[in-house]
Amino acid sequence: MRHHEVTAQAARVLPRFQVGTWVEESKAIVFVWGEVDCATAPRLAGTLADMTEQGRLNLVVDLSGVYFMDSTGLAVLAVAHKRLQQAGGGLVLAGPTPAVRRSIDITGLDQMMPVTDALPKVSSALLESTRARDRAPDVDEDDAPQEA
């Protein structure tokens, strides 16, 4: 197999860009694959805005399939985070690849919103984000109702 054949096969496997959603009540996971750059970021922005407009204020963006993200994509995430915060919700970034994680860290997005290494940690991150937002006190065992 020649190099150009391998490259052609890889191009068929790796999507230029795709976005999909999983929705449940007021929360959603937005799955992103491929490159997020100035050409594809508007589609991601539109999906995130649609979720917010539909009342889904707790969003997780699964970045595990993103192999490149430029400043346009990072800006989309920052704007969505701000919009969700203003609406009383939150945004969690999940599973960024090493290259994308480096960009998130360098730009300080990891200081603005939770970033988890994998999707299974997302539900607890959303819970913590909601608790912090609501500033609801945790119930201590001493405060729990006692059985007779």
- Domain holding 42: CATH number? 3.30.750.24
Is the residue at 35 inside a domain?
A: yes
Is the residue at 143 inside a domain?
A: no
Is the residue at 142 inside a domain?
A: no
Enclosing domain of residue 33: 15-121
Let me know: does 35 contact 67? Beta carbons within 8 Å.
yes
pTM to 2 decimals? 0.73
Let me know: does 36 contact 76? Beta carbons within 8 Å.
yes
Tens digits of per-residue pLDDT, 15-52?
Answer: 689 999 988 888 899 999 999 999 999 999 999 999 99
Tens digits of per-residue pLDDT, 40-83?
Answer: 999 999 999 999 999 999 999 999 999 999 999 999 999 999 99
